[in-house]
Structure 1
Amino acid sequence: GAARVRWAASMPVAEHLVPGWLAALRRQGDAPRVVLTATNSTAVAELVRSGAVDLGLVEGPDPLADLQQVVVGRDELVLVVAPEHPWARRRGPVEAAVLARTPLVTREVGSGTRTALEQALGGPGPAPVLEVSTATAVRESVRAGWGPAVLSRLAVAGYLRERRLVEVAVRGVDLGRRLRAIWVGGAMPPPGPARDLVALAGAARLP
């Protein structure tokens, strides 16, 4: 039967990229039986270190110098608000310094999205107005009027197209980030489906 592999991925990658990558592997005739754990970037790295999974996929900015890694894609963080929020009607961007002082709806500590934003803005901002453990809960909390949030573009693209959320430009900070595959061992990912996935994702990488 098909090889059974254990992978872990941070939430945006697990929800928005891995399904397409696995479908592409299947079309190539490589159809592994994947047990995928979706969690935050910190937990993904721990699962890789412990040997619980063969491959991790993360979007957090932590160097993870003890792990082998390769960039497999690009993403950016975007500031979003409900259509009724005053920022939805702004003509100009929000300054990074203003964003850094604004209580946000956020993911939990350990989330790659939250860590990346804090590093980009120079440190943790004020206490979150609401802290939840999934991007879906963040999106719905923003829609319900709790306040702004900064999320992966992967996680909000559909909401922006449907005008359920509004993107607000931010000036004075780079919110781009790299998506990485991480593993323990040699310079190449483990042979088999993990290596095939990394090659496929890298070939399809966003510019």
Structure 2
Amino acid sequence: MSNGKTDQSAGSRLRLSLRQLEVFVATARAGSTRAAAERVSRSQSAASATLAELEAVLGVQLFDRVGRRLLLNENGHALLGRAAALLDEAGDLQALFSGEHAAPLRLAASFTIGEYLLPDLVAAWTRRHPASPVRLQIANSAEVVDAVARFEVDLGFIEGALTHPELRLRGWRSDELVIVAAPDHPLAGAPAGLRQLRQAEWVLRERGSGTRDAADRWLLEHLGEIRVAFELGSSEAIKRLVARGVGLGCLSRHAVAGALAQGELVELRTRLPAAERRLAIVTHRDKHLGRAARAFLAHCTEDTGPA
């Protein structure tokens, strides 16, 4: 039968380990030990035991158990940033002696940036750093911010002015929204008036995307209302639909540059003021940026185009 002294002695023999932190971070990101076990290549029972060891070492619970889900509590939130930073630093130490980056560089980008700006930057980076693999997740801006906030990626690239108390936004490149139409669209000739724009049908990005947020602010401020016929999750799909004369599109100039040059789309002339915006790079305030992330950040800002 155990007594308090024996329990205390057993607890004192427990030590914090990188394996425990790895399982904890994986569980925080996945929401269950079953999903976390797959990420760290362990059995579910081993992952659960490792997580229990960590909570015993710290003397606190890190998750609230809600059904089968494990949700970070206040203690877990306090630990997550530092745990992720320690794991990144451990990877840097391993890389110091192996001559290679121990883990892939994890990026998340909005669709416009991920599809039209980052590919060239990633290709140039890979040529210069062949031993540094890159994993690029493309999603809308709100999902990118969430990925950075949850320490799932090292760097995020977004289009909007989204804010988050735990994140830092760094201005990156300039962008401009443009209204596009098929070459034979009725409004493709003379400058379109405000009434014509209100009465036209529009093909826009889905809500939650940086492009949609910027388009709503710009168009609704000057038009009051618009008729949204289609909401799509891809700029490419919007361009194809608009090119077939279905409606007007409002997209980043980066996204439509090729279609405009090839004559598949035309930029509509209007009396609206220019819709300029800043693209941004997002990092977590509590995250240690490893060597690869710092180098890639410098790589992206070497030639950022118009300030």
TM-score, normalisation: structure 2: 0.61
Between 1 and 2, higher relative CO (CA 8 Å, sep ≥ 6) is seen in 1
Q: Pick one of 192, 200, 203 that aligns with 1:105.
A: 203
Q: Does residue 48 of the first structure (1) align with residue 148 of the second (2)?
A: yes
Q: Which residue of 1 aligns with 2:4?
A: none
In structure 1, distance between residues paired with 2:259 and 2:227: 26
In structure 2, distance between residues paired with 1:45 and 1:78: 25
Structure 1: 4+ residue segments shifted above 4 A = 95-98
Q: Which residue of 1 aligns with 2:219?
A: 121
Q: 1:121 to 1:61 in 2, by over 3 A?
A: farther
Deviation at 1:127?
Answer: 4.4
Q: Which residue of 2 aligns with 1:191?
A: 290
Deviation at 1:15?
Answer: 0.8
The 10-residue stretch of structure 1 (30-39 or 161-170) with the greater mean CA deviation from structure 2: 30-39
Aligned partner letter, 2:138 = A
In structure 2, distance between residues paired with 1:63 and 1:202: 21
Q: Does residue 37 of the first structure (1) align with residue 137 of the second (2)?
A: yes
Q: Secondary structure at the match of 1:178?
A: strand
Q: Pick one of 171, 174, 180 that aligns with 2:280.
A: 180
Q: Is the 8 A contact 1:9 1:57 kept in 2?
A: yes
Q: Does residue 28 of the first structure (1) align with residue 128 of the second (2)?
A: yes
Mapping of 1:5-24 within 5 angstroms?
5-24=105-124
Q: Pick one of 192, 201, 206 that aligns with 2:300.
A: 201
In structure 2, distance between residues paired with 1:76 and 1:48: 25
Q: 1:202 to 1:45 in 2, by over 3 A?
A: same
The structure in which a higher percent of residues are strand is 1
Q: 1:96 to 1:44 in 2, by over 3 A?
A: farther
Q: Does residue 144 of the first structure (1) align with residue 144 of the second (2)?
A: no
Deviation at 1:19?
Answer: 1.4
Q: Pick one of 152, 161, 168 that aligns with 1:61.
A: 161
Deviation at 1:172?
Answer: 3.2
Deviation at 1:66?
Answer: 3.8
In structure 2, distance between residues paired with 1:168 and 1:193: 42
Q: Which residue of 2 aligns with 1:167?
A: 267
Q: 1:96 to 1:111 in 2, by over 3 A?
A: farther
Q: Is the 8 A contact 2:198 2:227 kept in 1?
A: no
Identity, % of aligned positions:
34
Aligned length: 204
The structure in which a higher percent of residues are helix is 2
Deviation at 1:118?
Answer: 1.1
In structure 2, distance between residues paired with 1:10 and 1:175: 18
Where does structure 2 lack aligned partners over 5 or more consecutive residues?
1-99
In structure 1, distance between residues paired with 2:288 and 2:189: 47
Deviation at 1:122?
Answer: 4.2
Aligned partner letter, 2:294 = R
CA RMSD of aligned residues (A): 2.3
User: Alpha-carbon deviations, 1:87-111, whole Å to 9, x = none?
Assistant: 2112x3x356754564310111111
In structure 1, distance between residues paired with 2:248 and 2:288: 38
Q: Is the 8 A contact 2:125 2:296 kept in 1?
A: yes
